Structure 1
C-alpha cells in the first residue's frame, strides 16, 4: 500500500536528531530522481493533474544539505553550505524534468535572500543568507528557513509541488548557534562535533541548550584544574617545628604560611592550638598569619588543621557565551575565549573561608589560574573590559582562559 506523503513528512521529522536529520524509510529503499517501482520512497511533496486523460505527477523526491563529513542526508544548514532539492515527473514523456522551474523564498525578515532565488531543471542548488541583527541579545535567534516551490507546465496545466516552511529547509538548534559565528565573522567557526550539551549546566551562560567548545570537554577540565590549585593554595602552610618538639623561643614560627600570594604576601591557613599563638591578624574568624610557639616554646599546632576544601562550580559567573550573548554583555572582542568554550569567570567574594577576606580570595583564585593557564591568561576584572589588580576592592571576578 502506498504511504501517504503526510505520513512520510511526519516520519522524516520524527527521525531528526540533535543536529542532523536522518534519512528515513524502509531498509533497502533508495531515493533518486527519475526512479520508480516499489523500492522508491514516497515523495516529499507532489502535485498531480489530469493532462488529456493521463495523470501527470510532479514530485520533489529529495532534499539535503551538502555538508562535509555527513554520512546521512541532513536538511538543517548554515549559510556557507549548499542546499539541494531534486524533483522528477511521472506519467509524461521523458525529458520534462529539464523544464521544472524552482523558486526559493525566505521565511521571515531575519532570513536573507537565497542565491539563486530561481532556477530551472531537475535539481535546485542554492545557498541562503542571514539578515539577523548583530546588536546582541539574551534570547536565542530564530531559525533561518526557506520555502521551496517546483512548478511545471504540461499542455496548458500547471503542476506545483511545495516544500512548506518549518518542515525541511530550516535550521535546527546546533546550526542556529553555528550561524552566529558566521554572522559575526569570528576567527573560530565551530563544526557540529564541537557543539554539545554541557556536562554541567553552570558552564552554559549562552542562549541555547547546547554550547560550543573548540576542544570538547575543555571547560570541565579548566574548572577542575583551577579548583585543585585553589584548594592547594588554601592548604599550603609549612610545618616548621614538628608537633611536640621545642622551638628556639616563644616567638619562633612553628607553622609558616606558604609562598606569597601575588602582591599580598603569604597567607596563613592554620589555627593555633595549645598555647601557640597567631602571628598575624584574625580575619573572618580565622588566623591570617603564621603560628608562634607561645610561652611553653613547644609546637602544639599541626599545619593546615583547618583543612579547607572549596567547590568552585557555584561561583561561576560566566563560562560559555554564544556571540550574541557575548555582544549583549559588552565584551570588547568578538573572538572572546568565552565564545570558544575556553574561559571561566569566577567570583570568589561569596566564599566564606576563615582567615581570608574577599580581596585575598580574589588573589588566591587569580594565582590558581596563573598556575593552570599561565600568567597572561588569569586576571581580575570589573565587568567585561576593566582590568584590575586582584586586591582592588572594585574587582568583581577573575577571568581564566586556556
Structure 2
C-alpha cells in the first residue's frame, strides 16, 4: 500500500509552485481546501487597498479617476483575465456580479435570435443561472427548458435561442466538453453562454478555440479577488456590433461624460458596464489576477490535476466507503473532488474544527477544492487522514457539528 504521507512530502519538495504559497496570508498549520468557494487573501492586497484608500482616494480625491486610471480598471483587469480563458483582450470587461452579467447576456442573446425564446440549461445548474432565466421568463421574454446532461444535444431544437451551462458543475465538479456542445448549439442555430465561475484560474478554458459566444465568471474563487469581488463578462468579437444589453447605465454609454439625455451604447464589451465601477474591490481583484497570470494557466492546471489525482487515489485507499461523485478522469473534472455522505455537513464541521477547511453543498455533498497556487499535497493528505479518523472515531456525531450556520 502507498505511504501517502511520504508521497505528499516528496511531491511538495518537487513542486515548482510551492514558493507561491508565501504570496498568500495562510497559517502554516491550516489546510485550506475551499478556494473553489473563496480564494485566499494575497499578501499584496492589503497594501494595494491601503494605497488606493490613502493615496488615490485620500490625496488624489476625484482626480484619481484620471491620474490613477480608475476609469480604465474594468477594461484593464478584463484584459489580464483574457489569457486565462482563451479570449482577446478586448472581449472581456470586469463589471457587476455573475448574476447581473448573466441577466445582461441572456437578454442580449435573446435579442439576437428573433423568434426564439427558449433558454436551455440543465437541472441542478448553479441556482443563480436558473433564477436569471426564471426572471426573464416572468417578464415574458424567455422560456426556460431543462434537459439532463445526456439529453442536452437532443433538446437543441429550432426554438432554442441560447444554451446556458456552467463549465464545471459546482457540486460534482464534472466538466462539460465546451467545444462539442458549443458546436452542437451553433448547428441548431442557437447561441451559447458559459458560466466559468468554477473554471477560471484552475482548468483549461479556450473560449475562442471553442467558438463560444458569451461567458461570465467569478472574481473571488480561483482569482482570489476577495469576498463579493466583481465578476467578468466575455462577448466574442464577432458579436460586438450586434450586442444590445438591457441595463443601459451611464458607464455603458459611448460618451458618459457628455451627459446626454439619450443613451448611445459604447462599442464592444464596454457596453456591458452599467453603474460606477467599485474601485476598491476591482483593485483587490487586480492583485489576485496578476498573481494567477504571473504563474501561468498551464502550470496552474498541471498542479491542479496532480493535487486532485493524489487526493482521489488516497481517498480510494483510505476511505473506500466514501463515494466520490466527481469523474475519475482529471480532464473531465474541475479543480475539486466531491464526496457523498448522509452526514456531509457534520463531517465538514468536524474537519473545520481540525483546521482542515472544505465545504458542504446540500443535501449531502462534502467538497474539497484545490487552488493550485497555494494548496500543498500535505494539505490533501491531512484532509484524508483527518476525515478517516473523524469517521472511525465517530467524532462527527457531536451535537455542535449538526448546528446549521446561515452560510454553509
Shorter-normalised TM range:
under 0.3
Larger Rg: 1
TM-score (norm 2): 0.22
TM-score (norm 1): 0.22
User: 1 or 2, which has the higher strand percentage?
Assistant: 1
User: 1 or 2, which has the higher helix percentage?
Assistant: 2
